Amino acid sequence: MEDVPPPTSMRFSAAALPEADRLAIWREEFGRKFVHLDIAPLQDDPLRYDASFQLLDTASAGLGTMSAVRCERSRRMIADCNDDILMLVPLTGRLQVDQAGQEATLGPGDALVRRSDDPGCTWSEAGHFLTLSLPQAVLGAKLADADRLRMTVLPGGSGALQLLVGYARLLFEAPGGADPALGRLARDHLLDLAAMAIGANRDAWVLAQEGGARTAHLAAIDASIARGHRDPGFGMAQVSRALGLSPGHIRKLLAARGASLSDLVMAARASRSANWPTPRASTTSPISTAPSAAATIARPRICGRAAGARDHSGMVSRRKAWNPSSSISP
């Protein structure tokens, strides 16, 4: 039997499940069996969960919306988990966490860093969220203090964290598709940026400046041009202010790519006036082809567990899941 290659993206939607049994099915099949969490609504409203995931070799990124829920990972549920590092970022709403005897409250834009094999409980308000699952061995080697992977809250005002979140969100606008090499590069960039946000050691910081940080800055510049080029007054001042980068640094980044900001803005406007599809004002994707030093491991991971072979429903799991093929689409 021919092997089926693992998917590079997935979508999970509770809305595709039968309404009468939605909560029970979701808690058992998605919560307990797939992500090893006991999920319970905090309100009487119907359960809402809709998220897309980019599977990036041994890492993953998730972006979606959900209703207010309580999620608990007990010691019994940890048995089948890997030891990936999870970063949870509420983009709207608040998140409370109780783990390893520590309690914390996160606001929009803050980030929780935790190990997936540690028991704990979170309470989330309804809203939008971003999640990252990153290999612990690789990320830990990049940090000045690996103990920060246990339970750390990063404030949303951090420039390094904002760069990480911005880059991760851009991956959903221009995903790497079915190319495994692009997935590995995106993973490497996320590892660079996560290390900078959590606290990189000296060597990792230097490497990240030419790896993930450079790529994320270029992607953010491209996205800013795509959004703003229609404004006749758009230029360096607007990009610099929006991204928090000095004009000199922006010029240096673009010069290394053989371009200038004015060239890219003019190209975007010319394409639009010629009735071409509006470009991203970009000569690169958010995934740079310049490799970084992150290690390559075996299989893609999502939500703190390894993704195995795809079953008949399209769900990436080592277990059989419920059978609505429309509920989870690769």
Q: Give the number of other Cβ atoms within 10 Å of residue 187's Cβ.
A: 31
- Over residues 65-69, the mean pLDDT reads 93
Q: Per the structure, how many domains does the chain have?
A: 1
What's the pLDDT at 125?
93
The per-residue pLDDT for 128 is: 96
State pTM to two decimals: 0.72
Share of the chain above pLDDT 90, in %: 28
Residue 191 lies in a domain: no
pLDDT band, residue 279 (cuts 50/70/90)? very low
How many Å apart are CA 91 and CA 47, to the nearest integer?
A: 19
Q: How far is CA 128 from CA 48, 106, 274, in A?
A: 11, 13, 37
Give the pLDDT of residue 289: 44
Strand 38-41 with 69-73, pairing = antiparallel
**81-90 residue pLDDT tens:** 677 899 999 9
- Whether 93 maps to a domain, the answer reads yes
199-203, 211-215, 238-242, 309-313: range with lowest mean pLDDT: 309-313
Q: Work out the average pLDDT over 205-212.
A: 81
Residue 280 lies inside a defined structural domain of this protein: no
**pLDDT classification of 7: cutoffs 50, 70, 90:** low
**Closest to 71 (Cα-Cα) out of 38, 43, 94, 28:** 38
Best CA proximity match to 287, nearest among 201, 179, 207: 179
**Nearest of 292, 300, 297, 329 to residue 313 by alpha carbon:** 329
The verdict on residue 214 lying in a domain is no
Report pLDDT digits (tens) over 175-186: 555 577 788 889
Between CA 141 and CA 195, with CA 172 as vertex, the angle to 5 degrees is: 15
> Is residue 213 one of the residues assigned to a domain?
no
CATH value at residue 41: 2.60.120.10
The range of the structural domain enclosing residue 71 comes to: 9-158+297-329
Predicted pLDDT at 199: 92
What mean pLDDT is predicted for residues 281-294?
A: 44
> Residues 277-298: what's their mean pLDDT?
42
Of 115-124, 191-200, 305-314, which range is least confident?
305-314
What was the pLDDT predicted at 8? 79
- Give me the pLDDT at residue 321, please: 31
Q: How confident is the model at residue 290 (pLDDT cuts 50, 70, 90)?
A: very low
Give residue 79's pLDDT.
64
pLDDT at 32 over 90: no
Residue 289 covered by a domain:
no
Report yes or no on 274 lying in a domain: no
In whole angstroms, give the CA distance from residue 295 to residue 310: 25
Indicate whether 126 belongs to any domain. Answer: yes
34/99 Cα distance (integer angstroms)? 21
Judged by average pLDDT, the poorest of 40-54, 114-128, 310-324 is: 310-324
Please indicate whether residue 218 or residue 4 has the higher confidence score (pLDDT): 218
Averaged pLDDT of the chain: 78
Q: Summarize pLDDT for 130-153 with one digit per residue, the tens.
A: 999 999 999 999 998 888 888 899
SS3 letters across the chain: CCCCCCCCEEEEEHHHCCHHHHHHHHHHHHHHHHHCCEEEECCCCCCCEEEEEEEECCEEEEEEEECCEEEEECCCHHHHCCCCEEEEEECCCCEEEEECCEEEEECCCCEEEEECCCCEEEEECCEEEEEEEECHHHHHHCECCHHHHCEEEECCCCHHHHHHHHHHHHCCCCCCCCCHHHHHHHHHHHHHHHHHHHCECHHHHHHHHHCHHHHHHHHHHHHHHHHHCCCCCCCHHHHHHHHCCCHHHHHHHHHHCCCCHHHHHHHHHHHHHCCCCCCCCCCCCCCCCCCCCCCCCCCCEECCEECCCECCCCCECCCCCCCCCCCEEC
